[in-house]
């Protein structure tokens, strides 16, 4: 049935630690579990001295976490208990299984309060089994793109780096990296080869002619290639378009005359 009259309110009820009387002293510290507590007012307390409940305001006052009796206590006096009733607006600690969904404000539960496995980041999502995971199914997780118009040339028969380079940090070791390159190239009487280097391996193999090969005696050629790499790393990987000349003493050139080249790196979820 409903309450008749005013409905009882729930306060933050606490019993203070035992206090030993000091002869000739009226002021004492209020603590619960060794930590200072500050009652709302003297009216929010039940104080028993020598077995008699004291009148708030006249028998004692409260300031912060300190209680002061109206007169000095003496040896033999006993502070039986001090019971703090708490503020009627303070609900204290809710009982188990009493907080419902309706009592939670929108957006009040942060990710820090969730119990989940895995690593939360901008490239992961929270699954129904409470685990963070990288989206699967070949989705593009991030993209990096650079432009470069710095001319590079070499007569070397081994691969040399060029200015067309980009960095990417995969979010998972299972991710693939799709590299897409397009650039202008020139072979001055030779047979240049262009391929991709990921900091530890060449896309076409150390002895390969390249992902792009041609024989040219001076003309400028538009080149492009793509390569799907498996870096198996979550550390930064640097991809560079590299070049060599398969004809001894001849030039291989990239970005001749300052023509722009383009390199894109796409992380693909496994």
Over residues 136-184, the pLDDT tens digits come to 667 888 999 999 999 998 988 889 999 999 999 999 898 999 999 999 9
* Sign of the torsion angle spanned by Cα atoms 228, 232, 237, 243: negative
The pLDDT of residue 137:
64
CATH topology of domain 140-268: Jelly Rolls (2.60.120)
Tokens of 227: 């390569």
The pLDDT of residue 4:
67
The pLDDT of residue 220:
87
Tell whether pTM > 0.75. Answer: no
The pLDDT of residue 45:
92
User: What confidence tier does 81 reach under pLDDT thresholds 50, 70, 90?
Assistant: very high
The pLDDT of residue 11:
60
Tell me the range of 133-142, 180-189, 206-215 where mean pLDDT is highest.
180-189
List the beta bridge partners of residue 224.
182
Percent composition of the chain: helix, strand, coil (DSSP 3-state, to 5): 5, 45, 50
Q: For residues 142 and 170, give the distance between their C-alpha atoms in angstroms, rounded to a whole number.
A: 8
Count of C-beta atoms within a 10 Å radius of residue 26: 14
The pLDDT of residue 48:
97
22, 52, 63, 67, 180 from 74: Cα distances, Å? 7, 16, 22, 16, 89
Q: What is the pLDDT of residues 228-240, one digit of tens each?
A: 999 999 999 999 9
Domain boundaries, the chain: 14-84, 140-268
Tokens of 27: 């002021």
Q: For residues 141 and 72, give the distance between their C-alpha atoms in angstroms, rounded to a whole number.
A: 74
17, 58, 87 from 24: Cα distances, Å? 21, 19, 32
The pLDDT of residue 232:
93
List the beta bridge partners of residue 154.
252
Q: What is the mean pLDDT of residues 198-215?
A: 82
Tell me the range of 40-44, 98-102, 208-212, 249-253 where mean pLDDT is highest.
40-44
Q: What is the mean pLDDT of residues 130-134?
A: 80
């Amino acid at each position: 049935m409903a309450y008749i009259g005013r409905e009882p309110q729930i306060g933050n009820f606490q019993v203070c630690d035992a206090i030993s009387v000091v002869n000739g002293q009226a002021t004492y510290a209020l603590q619960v579990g060794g930590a200072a507590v500050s009652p709302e007012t003297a009216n929010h307390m039940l104080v028993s001295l020598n077995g008699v409940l004291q009148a708030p305001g006249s028998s004692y006052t409260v300031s912060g976490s300190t209680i002061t009796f109206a007169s000095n206590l003496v040896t033999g006096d006993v502070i039986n208990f001090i019971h703090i009733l708490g503020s009627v607006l303070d609900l204290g600690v809710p009982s188990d299984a009493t907080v419902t969904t309706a009592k939670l404000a929108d957006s009040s539960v942060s990710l820090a309060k969730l119990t989940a496995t895995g690593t939360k980041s901008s490239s992961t999502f929270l699954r129904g089994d409470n685990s963070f995971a990288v989206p699967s199914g070949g989705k593009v997780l991030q993209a990096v793109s650079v432009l470069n118009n710095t001319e590079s040339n070499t007569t070397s028969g081994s691969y040399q780096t060029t200015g067309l380079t980009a960095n990417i940090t995969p979010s998972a070791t299972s991710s693939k990296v799709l590299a897409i390159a397009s650039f202008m190239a020139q072979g001055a009487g030779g047979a240049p080869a262009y391929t991709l280097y990921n900091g530890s391996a060449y896309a076409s193999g150390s002895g390969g002619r390249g992902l792009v090969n041609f024989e040219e005696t001076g003309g400028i050629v538009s080149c492009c290639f793509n390569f799907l790499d498996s870096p198996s790393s979550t550390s930064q990987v640097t991809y560079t378009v590299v070049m060599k000349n398969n004809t001894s003493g001849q030039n291989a050139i990239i970005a001749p005359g300052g023509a722009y080249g383009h390199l894109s790196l796409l992380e693909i979820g496994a």
